[in-house]
Structure formats: structure tokens, C-alpha cells
Structure 1
Amino acid sequence: MKLGVFTVLFGQKPFEEALDYIASKGLDAVELGTGGYPGNAHCDPDALLSDEGKLKAFKQAIASRGLMISALSCHANPLHPQKHIAKDSQDTIAKTIELANRLEVPVVNTFSGCPGDHEDAKYPNWPVAPWPPDYQEILAWQWEQKVIPYWTETGKFASERGVKIGLELHGGFSVHTPATLLRLREAAGDVIGANLDPSHMWWQGIDPVQAVQILGRAGAIHHFHAKDTSIDPINVNKHGVTDMQSYTLMLDRAWQFRTVGYGHDMKTWADIISALRLVGYDYVVSIEHEDGLMSIDEGFTKAVQNLQQVLVREPLTEMWWV
């Protein structure tokens, strides 16, 4: 396995300065934002796709520091009911897939998106209960008319360019659990897989080790994010896991994102890494830092230090003791 970082947390730094800092921490890979919610501070598809010289210099800047690109990420809502928002997201995803092909990056990460509840809706509608039956009708319409058709077409577009799609399982979007990912993968093909982030499993009540097992046995983990979550035992009983309070209200929230090791102990993280290896995932573990209690540098540095303890780097050898 290799250790990487989602570079959006260094978006305030010039690109090469950010690369120097990342390389100084002993990392192997970078995951780059190309638009959507992450922005494109370091990787603008329009600029790179239109200028071969810029593309070549971009690749050289990364390779010269001993780094690789693990994924291009353009998290957005390509199924948004407001058509101009959906189109912007879809265009960004398509350009990112094209750029991944040109850069020989195997994975593009994004969200599945979430439609509205009918063709003329204005806002996304995320059904989370099977009753009253209206929700089942909404869910069926969303998947049959929006989710499956879009991702079947986009998956084919990506597959033709040698690129896989890593959907982040995130609340608020149609694909948010191992089951919903596997449902879409069955309909749209193996090009669809997970950008598995354990932080979003924990707050939904899903054990990330079991999520790794479920998805890994299906060969459905295309990329992996390293981010932690802490659950407040009092606040969760007040607000539930679907706490709608702002992330800034950390003292009152039911749960919050933490850097690796500050929501769950290192034995838990060792179990996650071991499960990844057990199911054959031997790619990049990409740090995503969204810890409101730590600065960017401290949160990132602690995540690196903690993951270095449990990451399994060397290739498997023969079981000499068998």
C-alpha cells in the first residue's frame, strides 16, 4: 500500500510548494481536486487539456518529487434537479475523466448525486425511511429514471477511456452505503466502485471493517480515504445520527470528523488496513483532513504519523511457516 493525501487542504499554497511539503512528509501519492465541491486550485482540467506543454510540466512536477496521482476528484451532484447545476457537474466529471485518461490516472472520485422527487423539482430529495410509502415511490423513480441511466452512460464513457469511477459513500446522496453502491454497480457495471471513506460509515452506524469486507469481496473498492469520526454519546441521543446542525457547532453535534486516531484507536485502524489487504486492496490510502479541532498542518501531520504505524507496505511473501 501507499500513503497519499487529498491535496484540497493545501489549496491556499502554490502547487509546487504544496508538493514539496507533501513529499517532505514521506508520502507517495496525491489526490487532486478538479472541480465541484473540492475546487480545482491545483488541477484545472480546462487548462491542462488545452495545452500539451502545461500537461507535461504538470506531470513532471509530480513525478520529480517521487509522487504519483492516486485519483482525480470532482465531488459534485450530477443528478441535481436544477438542470444547470446538474450540467455543470456532469461537464466537470466528463472533463475529469478525459484528464485522468491523459494523465494515466486510474480513478476519478465523485458523488453519485441525488435527484429531486419529480422532473420539475428544485432541490434534491434524500429518502431515508421506507414509510410512508411516498418515499418508496420517490426512491424507485430516482433510481429508475436518474441514477441508473446517468451512471450507466457515464460508466461506459469512463470505461472506454480506461478510467474507473470511485463513488464516495456519503449521506445526502443516492449511493451512501455498501448496499446502494453494489446495487448501482450491478446495474451500471464494474467500472463503478467505492471511494471508501470510513468516516461516513461510522456516523451511519456501519462498521468500516465490515464495509471493506462486503465491498472488497466484490472487487468494488477503487480508492480509499483515511478520515476518522467521533460520536458524542450524549448528543447522539439528542440529535440522532442524521444531525442537521452545522459542522461548526462542535460542542453540540452528535458526531464530528476527526483526524486519523482521534475518533477511533489505532487497533481499529490496523483492523481496517488489515481488512483492505485481506480483500486484495493494495493501492493508496489517501488522507482527508476535516478536523475542526486541529490546524491543517497539525491534523495532517498526526494523520501521517498514525497511519505510518499501521500501513502495510511490503508485498505479500510466501507463507514460509505453512
Structure 2
Amino acid sequence: MKLGVFSVLFAQKSFEEALDYIAAKGLDAIEIGTGGYPGTAHCDPDVLLADEEKLKAFKHAVESRGLIISALSCHANPLHPQKHLAAADDATIRKTIELAGRLGVPVVNTFSGCPGDHEDAKYPNWPVAPWPNDFQEILAWQWEYKVIPYWTEIGALAVKHGVKIGLELHGGFSVHSPATLLRLREAVGPVIGANLDPSHMWWQGIDPVQAVHILGRAGAIHHFHAKDTTIDPINVNHHGVTDMQSYSLMLDRAWQFRTVGFGHDLKVWADIISALRLVGYDYVVSIEHEDGLMSVDEGFTKAVQNLQQVLIKEPLGEMWWV
């Protein structure tokens, strides 16, 4: 396995400054934002797709520092019921897929998106209960008329460019759990897989180790994010796991994101890494920092230190004891 980082953490640095900083930490890979929620601070697809020399220089800047690009990430909502918002996010995803193909990057990470509850809706509608039955009707309509048709088309585009789609399992979007990811994968094909982030599993009450087994046995893990979560045992009884309070209200929230090792100990992280190896995932573990108690530099540095203790890097080789 290789250790990487989602470079959106360092959007305040120039691209080459960020690369130097990441390489100096001993990392192997970088995940780069190409629009949508991550922004384009280090990579603007319009610029690179229009200029072959800039494309080559971009690729050289990464490779000359001994790094690889693990994924291009354009997390967005291409199924947004407001057509102009959906169109902008859809265009970003399409351009990112083309750019990934040109760069030889194997994975594009994004969200599945979430539609509204009817054709003329204004806002996304994320059903989270099977009753009243209205929610079941909304869910069926979303998947039949929006989710599956859209990702079938985008999946075919990704295959054409030799790219896989890593959907982050995130609350608020149609694909948010192992079951919903596998449902879409069954409908679209193996081009669809997970950008598995354990932090979003924990707050939904899903054991990330079991999520790795469920998805990994199906060959459905395309990329992996390293981020932690802590659940407040008192506040969760007050607000529940679907706590709608701002992330900034850390003292009162039911749960919050933490850097690796500050929500769950390294034994838990070792179990996650071992499960990844067991199901055949031998790609990049990409650090994502969203810890409201630590600066970017400190949170990132501690994540690197903690993951370096549990990451399995060398190939197994022959089992001499068998």
C-alpha cells in the first residue's frame, strides 16, 4: 500500500509548494481536487485539457518528486434538482474523467449526488426512513429515473477513458452505505466502486472493517480515505447520529471528524488496514483532514505518523511457515 493525501488541505499553497511539502513528509501519492466542492486550487481541467504542454508540466511536477496521482476528485451533486447546478457539476465530472484518462490516473472520486422528490423539485431529498410510504415512493423514483440512468451514462464514459469511478459513501447522497454502493454497481457495472472513508461509516453506525469486507469481497473498493470520527456518548443521545448542527459546534455535536488515531486507536486502524490487505486492496490510503481541534499541519502530521505505524507496504511473498 501507498500513503497519500488529499491536497485540498493545502489549497493555500501553490501546487509546487504543496508537492514539496507532501514529498518531504515521505508520502507516496497525492489526490488532487478538480472542481466541485474540493475546488480547483491545484488543478483546473479547462486549462490542462486545452494545453498539452501545461498538461505535461503538471504531470512532470508530480512525478519528479517521486509521487503518483492516486485520484482526481470532484465531489459534487450532478443530480441536483436545480438543473443549472446539476449541469455545472456534471460538466466538471465529465472533464475530470477526460483529464484522468489523459494523465493516466485510474480513479475519479466524487459523490453519487442526490435528486429531489419530483421533476420540478428545488432541493435534494434524502429519504432515511421506510415509513410513511411516501419516502419509499420517492426513493424508487430517484433510483429508477435519476440515479441509475445518470451513472450508467457516466460509467460508460469512464470506461471509454480507462477510468474507474470512486463514489464516497456520504450521508445526504443516494449512495451512502455499502448496500447502496453495491446496488448501483450491480446496475451500472464494475466501473463503479467506493472511495471508502471510514469516518462516514462510523457516524452511520457501520463498522468500517465490515464495510471493507463487504465491499472488498465484491472488488468494489477503488480508493480509500483516511479520516477518523469520534461520537460523543452524551450528545448522541440528545441529537442522534443525523445531527444537523454545524460542524463548528464541536462541544454540542453528537459526532465530529478527527484526524487518524484521535477517534479510534491504532489497533482499530491496524484492523482496517489488515482488512484492506485481506480483500486485495493494495492501492493508496489517502489522508483527509477535517479535524476542528487541530491545525492542518498538525492534524496532517499526526495522521502521517500514526498511519506509518500500521500501513502494510511490502508484498507478502511466500508463506514460508506453511
TM category, shorter: over 0.9
Q: State the 1:98 CA deviation.
A: 0.2
Shift of 1:214: 0.0
2:166 match? 166
Q: For residues 258-277 of structure 1, what are the structure 2 equivalents within 5 Å? A: 258-277=258-277
Take 1:317 and 1:63, find their aligned partners in 2: how far apart are those partners?
Answer: 28
Q: Which segments of structure 1 move beyond 3 Å, counting only runs of 4 or more? A: none
Alpha-carbon distance between aligned partners in 1 of 2:190 and 2:132, rounded to the nearest angstrom: 33
Q: Distance in 2 between matches of 1:165 and 1:173?
A: 15
Residue 93 of structure 1 corresponds to 93
**Paired AA for residue 134 in structure 1:** D
Take 1:58 and 1:4, find their aligned partners in 2: how far apart are those partners? 18
- CA–CA distance in structure 1, aligned partners of residues 296 and 30 of structure 2: 16
Using the TM superposition, give the Cα deviation of residue 185 of structure 1 relative to its aligned residue in structure 2, in angstroms: 0.1
Paired residue secondary structure (1:108): strand
- For residues 17-56 of structure 1, the aligned pairs below 5 Å read 17-56=17-56
Secondary structure of 2:320's partner? coil
Partner of 1:71: 71
TM-score (norm 2): 1.00
CA deviations on 1:127-160 (whole Å, 9 max, x unpaired) are: 0000000000000000000000000010000011
Q: Structure 2 matches for 1:146-165, cutoff 5 A?
A: 146-165=146-165
What is the Cα deviation at residue 45 of structure 1? 0.2
How far is the alpha carbon of 1:241 from its aligned partner? 0.2
Structure 2 distance, partners of 1:229, 1:40, is 27
Aligned residue in 2 for 1:233: 233
In the other structure, the counterpart of 2:185 is: 185
Give the aligned partner of residue 116 of structure 2.
116
**Taking every aligned residue pair, what percent have the same amino acid on both sides?**
86
C-alpha displacement of 1:78: 0.3
- Answering whether residue 209 of structure 2 is matched by residue 209 of structure 1, we say yes
Residue 12 of structure 2 corresponds to: 12
Structure 1, unaligned runs of 5 or more: none
Aligned-partner Cα distance in 2 for 1:20–1:106: 23
Q: Deviations over 1:247-282 (max 9, x none)?
A: 000000000000000000000000000000000000
Residue number in structure 1 paired with 2:219? 219
In structure 1, C-alpha distance between the alignment counterparts of 2:156 and 2:64, rounded to whole Å: 33
- Give the 3-state SS of the residue equivalent to 2:215 in structure 1: helix
**What is the rounded CA distance, in whole Å, between the counterparts of 1:14 and 1:277 in structure 2?**
34
Residue identity opposite 1:126 in structure 2: W
Give the 3-state SS of the residue equivalent to 1:200 in structure 2: helix
Cα deviation code 1:196-255 (max 9, x no counterpart): 000000000000000000000000000000000000000000000000000000000000
Q: How does 1:279-318 map to 2 (within 5 A)?
A: 279-318=279-318
Cα distance in 1 for residues equivalent to 2:151 and 2:9: 28
How many residue pairs end up in the alignment?
322
User: How far off its partner does 1:316 sit?
Assistant: 1.6
Amino acid at match of 2:34: T
Question: What is the DSSP-based 3-state SS (H/G/I as helix, E as strand, rest coil) of the residue aligned with 2:276?
Answer: helix
Residue 135 (1) aligns with residue 135 (2): yes
Letter in 2 for 1:253: R
Q: Which amino acid aligns with 1:286?
A: S
Looking at structure 2, the residues matched to 283 and 260 of structure 1 have their Cα atoms a distance apart, in angstroms, of 18
Runs of 5+ unmatched residues, structure 2 = none
Query: Equivalents in 2 of 1:102, 1:66: separation in Å?
Result: 19
1:60 maps to 60
**What is the SS of the residue equivalent to 1:62?**
helix
Residues 238-253 of structure 1 mapped to structure 2, 5 A cutoff: 238-253=238-253
Q: Distance in 2 between matches of 1:224 and 1:231?
A: 21
Q: Please tell me the residue identity of whatever aligns with 2:244.
A: M
Match of 1:175 in 2: 175
Partners of 2:53 and 2:160 in 1: how far apart?
Answer: 25
Q: Deviations over 1:151-172 (max 9, x none)?
A: 0010000011100000000000
Tell me the amino acid that sits aligned with residue 53 of structure 1. Answer: E
C-alpha distance in 1, partners of 2:160/2:315? 30
- Residue-by-residue CA offset, 1:104-137 (whole Å, 9 max, x unaligned): 0000000000000000000000000000000000
The aligned amino acid for 2:250 is: M
RMSD over equivalenced CA pairs, Å: 0.3
